Homo-oligomer: A and B are copies of this chain.
Amino acid sequence: MGKRKENSTNMLNESYITESCNLTYAVCKIGGRWKLLILCKLENGKLRFSELRNQIKGITERMLTLQLRELEKEGLIKRTVYAEVPPRVDYELTEIAKELVPIWNQLSNWGAKHKEILLSSVSSSI
């Protein structure tokens, strides 16, 4: 997001874990604060910058831009600029991103289940 230091321990550790573990690698690709939310919004087709901004409560234009840029760099979304004024830009999932959709659904179901389990274990410990 800001540039990273090139040889910080932090950086080296990240390289190590993403190189040695494809699972960690995969999760890192979608690991920014707003990325999954953005990808989910795009699941049903293209959206413009302003549409994303309006659909995602709380995100600032700066954050939206940053996350979109990273997603684009990682090949998960495709950005299309139309030569118009005022500008028009839209975003859509790439093929490889679409392959994530069924996995997301399972993860999402798992999340819902986990949420319930945590809730019930909390309330039972009162």
Contact = CB atoms under 8 A, between A and B. Distances in A.
Given A17-B37, A22-B108, A36-B23, A31 B31 contact: yes
Contact of A36 (B21, B112, B114): B21
Contacts of A13: 33, 58-59
A102 B107 CA distance: 10
- Is the interface on chain A under 10, 10 to 19, 20 to 34, or 35 or more residues? 35 or more
A47 to B, nearest CB: 16
A100 interface: yes
A118 B26 CA distance: 12
A65 interface: no
A121 interface: yes
Interface in A2-60: 9, 12-14, 16-17, 20-27, 29-31, 33-34, 36-37, 40, 57-59
